[in-house]
Chains A and B, each alone.
Chain A
Amino acid sequence: MTTCFHCNEPVLTGDKFFTTIDGQAQAMCCPGCQAVSQAIIDSGLANYYRFRSEPGNRQNALVPDELNQFSAYDLPEVQQDLVHRQGELDSISLTIDGITCAACAWLIEHKVKTLNGVTQIGVNSTTQRVMVSWRPDTIALSTILKQISDIGYQAAPYQVDDQEKLSKAEGRKFLLRLGLAGFATMQVMMFAFALYSGYFTDLDVELRDYFRWVSMIFAAPVVFYSAQPFYFSAIRSLLSGKLNMDLSVSIAIAGAYIASCIATVNGTGEVYFESVSMFTFFLLLGRYFEQQAKQKASVSSSNLHKLIPVTAHLIQDGQTIEIAAKKLKVDDIILVRPGDIVAADGDIISGLSSVNESMLTGEQMPVTKNIGQKVFAGTINIDQPLEIKVKALGQDQLVAEIIRLQEFASNNNPKIALLADRLARYFSATILTIATLTYFIWLQISPDDAFWITLSVLVATCPCALALATPTAVTCATAIFTKLGIITRKSGVFEKLPQINHVVFDKTGTLTCGQLSLGTVKLFADIDQEAALSLVANLEQGSLHPIAQVFTPFSDKNLLVTNINHQVGKGVQGIYQQQVIKLGSLAFCIQNSDNLNIDVHSHHQHVYLSINDKLIASFELNDLIRPDSEQVIKTLKAQSIMVSMATGDSSGHVKYLADRLHITDIHSGMSPESKLNLINTLQQTKHVAMFGDGINDAPVLAGANISIAMGSGSAIAKNSADLILLGDHLSRFNDAITVAKYTNKIIKQNLAWAFGYNVIILPLAVTGHVVPYIAAIGMSLSSIIVVSNSLRLLRLKL
């Protein structure tokens, strides 16, 4: 099976599409991939194919030029919000869809660098962002965006999450502290080894003191600079009257350091510099992992929060001007052309067309709209131009209502307190109590040693392993998820996934591919199937109707169809070789449909082709069920997880699909509110996971215990979900549950070990047997064991 040279998807259109690269014709799977690879070669950037380590992004069918113009970005109101002006240069930061590896970053940079007027460009492949500066009088932003789109990447401005702004600065400071702690710890360890020899052989007092002073100097930056986060966190928790782990950590670090300084100056007692440094280092490492995970999540949140400017064509005094959608007022009249996005909720005052409302209702087939009917912001006009009188703006629109519902749902979502956090609280209290007790008891027995033994208790029981237990496992599990193509947006996912006992699926776009495809073709006359398909493709060329998209790969440049005329709700007709060809419903195509061998009660959609009123062919159109849907549902049921379907569709297709997939609990014709109510009812007794992809799923995704958005879904859905499935492979969900269960097991093992270690060392410390090198060995061993155990996660075979 040949695979597309660009994106590695299987090629189903024979050798129709190809691009000549380095003198050899390479197969392409669709017009999109072909156009993109041609653009890459034409720009002299064929090296991209040499450098890349991952296949390119699958290009959807060629988007008609009207939709691709990006002219909205040049409007002054839009530029005001998004573009940063400094002197003669404009600059903007954009998020890019479609980056798969570092070579993509190289490709984009080199393509845009060559444009006249661009002064600077930098692509970050980790955060998937590009920063570009240009001279506005030489080149327009829309041109830059078009160039990027030509080579297959979609760039869009985005809203920086507040969370992310904080994360970035924090992350860097963390790295500085961590690096310093690392360097210093290495040095202090070296001297500590020298000092350990004092326990086994003779060590000159001068040398011993010298090493102690040097250790003290090296440990100072660690204690005063690197450990700052712990001190601040401890003070904050004290001020709010709670105990947290950082309190005992701060006491241990500060106390041990000061005591060791005193010991160095006086030349008596024990020094714990290496334990203090190592301890700070390991703890910082754990915190750094956590912070990086949060940062990744907030970066992908920001990237999903795209600010694509919406424009409208305002009709004023007989003229049409393009303005930003936010400048519209109620009762303004706007013109919505075929292919345009409707800019505001309103009533149709002129025109007849069909509108794609799939982003709001989830249904693929466009809805016919006539004069007097309502259209909604965000939907796409398909057939004919419409004049709309604006009736609702901003927060009054249907879309805004759905978003409000989503925010309400996410605020009322029950939060599961994480196991590790609860344990940590009890832990601190216990350790501090035991340390205090130890001090007072030893004060009676041997006052000189009391202080040092208490110190060793604090140092030895320091929750090093405990702090590393969860972050390391979560980081490894997240890495596996990334390899599987699952993006984690919120924390706590690994704990919540194994608890799921009920899954609700949306229908269109989740269980099905969401796009119409060609099913069975029946021929009623003496014509070749390919010829029939090409005829249809050429007849439907330029149409944005979902049915037309199905036939696009079969278009043939040599077939000339003229006088194309669309009839809304019925079909399309044209002239080919002086014959009238029609494509559409049966009634549209032929006059008399009595003696034909056609099953009109089939639950599949059909379109018919006729030439001069004689039926030639019928084409079955399916919204294909995803290939792994059936298997996923079977596996879930085998794990005693109940499965339901909740969809906005109320057609016969729902029952058909449910029967095919053996789902018995069906809810059809659901609005966003009713979906949310369904989940809330289920949540009273169960842990519910929800799968969705459209805007109408956003509220229910925010309300479920765990929600998963399909990678091809709307941005709002992805922004409300806990997990995003890239590539839309449903079967990865089962893998995710397996990984989460295993991760939980490993976390529990880590925690068990961390506590076990403390239980063993505590009596040894209390009875005065723990000297610095024992504390250091114990600490490093327990940390290594925890980290290695977490690394076992990476070996999981799925």
Chain B
Amino acid sequence: MSIIYVLIPIAMLFVLIAVAIFFWAVKSEQFDDLDRQSVSILFDDDNQSSPSKPNAPKNEPLTKEQPELPL
């Protein structure tokens, strides 16, 4: 049971790191536009990979088949 005297400080260290990362994220404006950030990874246009990932259920399909594959 005395291992707990070591484990708890280690846990505290982890929490400290987590809080530091959270502070950094807020300060670098990542929490400013939550709408956009949640979908921006799906707006893939650099490598033209298939946007056929299930994006939002309300997405209207342009044609009946799925969009084309990368060139």
Contact = CB atoms under 8 A, between A and B. Distances in A.
Interface of A: 21-24, 46-47, 49-54, 101-103, 105-106, 110, 123-127, 172, 175-176, 179-180, 183-184, 187, 207, 210, 214, 217-218
Contact of A103 (B32, B33, B43, B67): B43
Interface string B1-30: 100110010011001001100110011000
Contact of B5 (A47, A180, A184, A210): A210
Contacts of A46: 62
B26 A179 contact: yes
A110 B19 CA distance: 35
Contacts of B18: 183
Contacts of A207: 1, 4
18 contacts: A22-B63, A24-B63, A49-B60, A50-B67, A51-B43, A52-B60, A53-B59, A102-B35, A110-B45, A176-B22, A176-B27, A179-B23, A183-B18, A183-B19, A187-B11, A187-B15, A210-B8, A217-B12
Contact of A22 (B1, B35, B62): B62
Contacts of A125: 33, 35-36
A21, A127, A187, most chain B CB atoms within 10 A: A187
Contacts of B38: 102
Contact-size category for B: 20 to 34
A793 B62 CA distance: 36
A110 to B, nearest CB: 7
A47 B36 contact: no
A124 B39 CA distance: 13
Given A127-B32, A180-B23, 5 more contacts: A24-B63, A46-B62, A172-B26, A179-B22, A187-B12
A49 B62 contact: yes
B19 A180 contact: yes
A53 B8 CA distance: 46
Contacts of B19: 179-180, 183
B40 interface: yes
B28 to A, nearest CB: 11
A52 B39 CA distance: 10
Nearest to B52: A50
Contacts of B5: 210
B38 to A, nearest CB: 8
A46 B48 CA distance: 13
A148 to B, nearest CB: 17
A562 to B, nearest CB: 42
B42 A51 contact: yes
Nearest to B61: A50
B71 interface: no
B34 A51 contact: no
A102 B15 contact: no
B8, B12, B36, B45, most chain A CB atoms within 10 A: B36
